[in-house]
Amino acid sequence: MVKVSGKSTKLKSDDKLSDSQVVGTSLAVSMSDVLLNFVVAMLTGSAVMLAQSLQGLSDVTTAGVLYHGVRRARREADDFHPLGFGREIFFWSLLAAIIMFAGTGALSLYFGYHQLVSPEPISRTSLAFAMLTFGLITNLYAFSRSITRLKQSSPKKSVWASMRDSSLIDTKITFTVDFLGSTAALLGLVSLTLYVLTGNVRFDGIGAISVGIATMIAAVLVIVDIHGFIIGESVPSKTIDQISRSARSVKGVQSVVDVYAFYVGSEKLFAVVEVHVTDEFTTDQIEELTDKIKEKIHRTLPSIHRVQIEIETPDNELLKF
């Protein structure tokens, strides 16, 4: 296996958000949420504010786990891990999604249900409104940075298409966390507004339950997404076609017999390309040709982390012998 080298078409580092920057922003926002929301929850007695603080605590843990995973995934390959440690981010992302489900989701449901069956009075609602507004603004900012990073890898796609197709699993989780943070703050504002208008404290419990259900659904969707990366599902057929066309465009390649490609990390591809080359090529010419194929594929798809070229004879030609 040969690691692909050559010029990259990446943007300047000053213009491109990194995984650690996006995760770091989400971590900072979550830390402010958990501290401020917990204080406000204690002062007001609101289940929605308690759900907000629990979400912040879960988000801090989630972002911390992701940040640790991002750092570990950057380690260089060694004799025991020839493809590097990129896939480790999938493990830590799975752990983060489980924390989202059990932390924010389940606990928010519990406290929301408690407020429904045993309503507790709420005080200082103006303080809760101010905190929820602040949380909405900060989470929307962190959410915008996750969107920016998703769009960097596929600028022509919509946000939701990028979210669906991207292998940036760390950014997809921060996208989910920050989207949920914004949604939770909005649900909190709605539920407290209904409480102020009607005087029915159960709206506070309904708001907390809504936060819990939304978080649990999002966590399950993230886990399903991670599952495909962990088991090594093939990349989309469009990517396979791009790799195949790049190989065929190199002079001396008669046909591409097969292509295997899967993710070995966040936006890191490993590809095996089987090619049929001109019969009269010498060994030296074949070696030179394989290098050209690798360079061509890497220029077409900078996300290719490693590529292996194998010289194969098509089945229909083998039948002639």
Whether residue 7 has pLDDT greater than 50: no
Please state the length of the chain.
Answer: 321
Residue 155 has pLDDT above 80, yes or no: no
* One-letter identity of residue 318: L
Q: How confident is the model at residue 4 (pLDDT cuts 50, 70, 90)?
A: very low
Tell me the pLDDT band of 298, cut-offs 50, 70 and 90: confident
Asked whether the predicted pLDDT for residue 14 surpasses 60, the reply is no
Percent of the chain with pLDDT over 70: 81
For the domain 237-318, what is the CATH superfamily, name and number? Cation efflux protein, cytoplasmic domain (3.30.70.1350)
* pLDDT tens sequence across 183-239: 878 888 888 888 888 888 888 888 888 888 888 888 888 888 788 777 777 787 888
Q: Which of 38-42, 113-117, 136-140, 286-290 has the lowest mean pLDDT?
A: 38-42
Q: What is the DSSP string of 111-170?
A: HHHHHHHS------HHHHHHHHHHHHHHHHHHHHHHHHHHHHH-TTS-HHHHHHH---HH
State pLDDT tens for residues 274-296. 998 887 788 888 889 999 999 99
Q: What is the DSSP string of 229-270?
A: HHTTPBPPHHHHHHHHHHHHTSTTEEEEEEEEEEEEETTEEE
- Let me know: does 55 contact 108? Beta carbons within 8 Å: yes
**What are the strands of the beta sheet with 268-277, ordered from one edge?**
2-3, 304-311, 268-277, 253-265
- The Cα 176–Cα 181 span in angstroms is 8
Categorize the per-residue pLDDT at 153 as very low, low, confident or very high, splitting at 50, 70 and 90. low
Residue owning tokens 């596929």: 154
pTM here?
0.66
With vertex at residue 96, the alpha carbon angle to CA 93 and CA 97, rounded to the nearest 5 degrees, is 90
Between 3.20.20.70, 1.20.1510.10, 3.30.360.10, 1.10.3720.10, what CATH number should domain 12-230 receive? 1.20.1510.10
Domain boundaries, the chain: 12-230, 237-318
What tens digit of pLDDT does each residue of 55-87 get?
Answer: 667 667 777 777 777 777 778 777 787 777 777
pLDDT of 242 over the 50 cut: yes
- The pLDDT, as a whole number, for residue 10 is 37
What does the pLDDT read at residue 1?
Answer: 38
* pLDDT at position 11 over 60: no
- CA nearest to 268, candidates 143, 148, 88: 88
- Can you give the three-state secondary structure of 164-180, one letter per residue? HHCCCHHHHHHHHHHHH
268 pLDDT band, cuts 50/70/90, is confident
The residue to which tokens 């292509």 are assigned: 259
Q: What confidence category does residue 15 fall into, taking pLDDT thresholds of 50, 70 and 90?
A: low
Q: Name which of 62, 52, 20, 19 is nearest 208 in CA terms.
A: 52
- Rounded mean pLDDT of 79-103? 79
pLDDT score at 20: 61
Give the pLDDT score at 2: 38
Q: What percent of the chain has pLDDT over 90?
A: 4
* pLDDT band with cut points at 50, 70 and 90 for residue 316: low
Amino acid letter at 295? E
